[in-house]
Amino acid sequence: MNTFLHQPRLAADELFRVLSACFPQSPPTRATTPAGVEVIGVSVARDRMRDIWDEWRGQHGETGWWPHVSLMSPDDVARASFHEGVDAAALENLMAEVVCQDHDARTASVVVSSFRWSMECVGGDEEDRQGWRDDYDPDRLAPQLGPELAEPLAGVSRWGSGDRDTWGWGPRWLNFVPARGGYEVPVVLPHVIGTGNWFRYGDRILTPADDAALLRRWQEQWGAELFLAQGAYLELVVRRPPLHPRAAAQAATELLGYCADTVQDPRTAGDGMVRSTVWSLWWD
């Protein structure tokens, strides 16, 4: 039967067997979501998480399973309320939309929607309106940023690994789902990240298809790949962050349109996080 859902090269049973051999001290577990998506996970020490993620991310081409960090075990993921109303047929329709959409155009639509909402909020204050125009226009924003960098800034994971971690409790899980790339994780696990809760800003609603569009664009443009997905928290590992001010301004405006809770000042983000190797986003 034809399907838009990704069919991994490595069968679930085989991946489970390989993970069992690789992690004998922390045997993997597996569960199936209500829509029929298999999730296989292994508990990993926080200080080893990035290295282990890098290793398994490097094998994605051979396995077809995308690894991502979570506080939730596969059983927790399968039971989570973010699956409500998403059965196999609904997931197939959602994935069809994602596979067929123009992700660049959808990204632009999300940014324009965010800009319009911001302009409505400031009302008739022309100075504030001019400020929002500068924030959302890369050509206006770029001259306000610093010069091109010779190399990326070192990024540090805030939640997925290392010492800068606000989650001192609970184990870390490296969960695997069948996906063409990290951009499909919020699709096969609908609402797993903040925007997937269908956050509403006035008439704005962001959906898993919006998540997928922006994440796919960022992966193609700057090598930004989904590392952690957990409720209101999202982290991306960025292989080729934009170093030129015009490219950094483009990324900053898109991040502002997607997550204004994090990118409240695109100038600060454009000179800092955007040009680093880790993008940490969160929604209030």
Q: How many domains does the chain have?
A: 1
SS3 227: strand
- Residues 60 and 10: beta-carbon distance below 8 Å: no
Q: Beta strands of the chain (E only): which ranges?
A: 29-32, 38-44, 65-70, 172-178, 200-201, 204-205, 224-230, 233-238, 278-282
Predicted local distance difference test score (pLDDT) of residue 159: 85
In a domain, 52, yes or no: yes
Give me the chain's average pLDDT, please: 91
In a domain, 90, yes or no: yes
Predicted local distance difference test score (pLDDT) of residue 203: 43
Measured between its terminal Cα atoms, the distance across the chain in Å is: 42
CA 5 to chain centroid: 19
In a domain, 17, yes or no: no
In a domain, 7, yes or no: no
Mean pLDDT, 10 residues at a time, over the chain (284 residues)? 92 98 96 97 94 98 97 94 90 97 97 87 73 90 98 92 57 95 96 59 70 98 97 95 98 96 95 98 88
In a domain, 189, yes or no: yes
In a domain, 18, yes or no: no
In a domain, 219, yes or no: yes
Q: Which residues of 246-277 are buried (b: 16+ CB within 10 A; e: fewer)?
A: ebbbbbbbbbbbbbbebbeebbebbbebbbbb
Over residues 26-63, the pLDDT tens digits come to: 999 999 999 999 999 999 998 899 999 999 999 999 99
Give the range of the structural domain holding residue 244, as residue numbers without chain letter: 36-282
In a domain, 231, yes or no: yes
Predicted local distance difference test score (pLDDT) of residue 168: 54
Over residues 57-81, the pLDDT tens digits come to: 999 999 999 999 999 999 999 999 8
Predicted local distance difference test score (pLDDT) of residue 5: 97
